[in-house]
Amino acid sequence: MEMMARNPAKGIYAASPDYIHALEIRHPSRLLFVSGTMGLDQHGIAAADLEGQLELVWSNLRAILASAQMTVDNIVRLTSYLRDGASMEANQNARLRALNGRAVPTTTIIVETLRDDWLVEIEIIAAG
């Protein structure tokens, strides 16, 4: 499988260092579509704060990826759903840490969550 960032130099605004406009995947043998994943522990309890929920989200995503013999290096698309726009920077920082600074196409959407204590949800697409 070959991955190539696609950030046109003309005709569109520049991507910031934390994401890319597009990622071309050549010759993937598998795709994994992961549902929105919450910052919940194994008992379904949300961590008390955003940082705790972000830690749990990424731990949960790593477990899901591992079940498909994949890692965060296989993530090719990511969407974050945040309850509060003030959480954008913390979410961005957690994403960059989790992906070891690797930029992927990403979108962040501010939403009303199903429960008040759910602060973040992240869905991904991975390719192998």
Q: What is the mean pLDDT of residues 74-85?
A: 98
Domain that holds residue 59: 2-7+17-127
Beta bridge partner(s), residue 40 = 46
Taking Cα atoms as reference points, which of 95, 77, 88 lies closest to residue 110? 88
- Tell me, what's the pLDDT at 16? 92
Q: How many domains does the chain have?
A: 1
Of the chain, the percentage scoring pLDDT greater than 70 comes to 100
Q: What is the mean pLDDT of residues 91-120?
A: 96
- Indicate whether 119 pLDDT > 90: yes
Q: Is residue 55 part of a domain?
A: yes
Q: Is residue 12 part of a domain?
A: no
Pure H helices in 20-87: 50-67
Q: What is the mean pLDDT of the chain?
A: 97
Q: Is residue 81 part of a domain?
A: yes
Q: What is the mean pLDDT of residues 108-117?
A: 94
Q: Domain with 40 in it: what CATH number?
A: 3.30.1330.40
- Tell me, what's the pLDDT at 114? 87
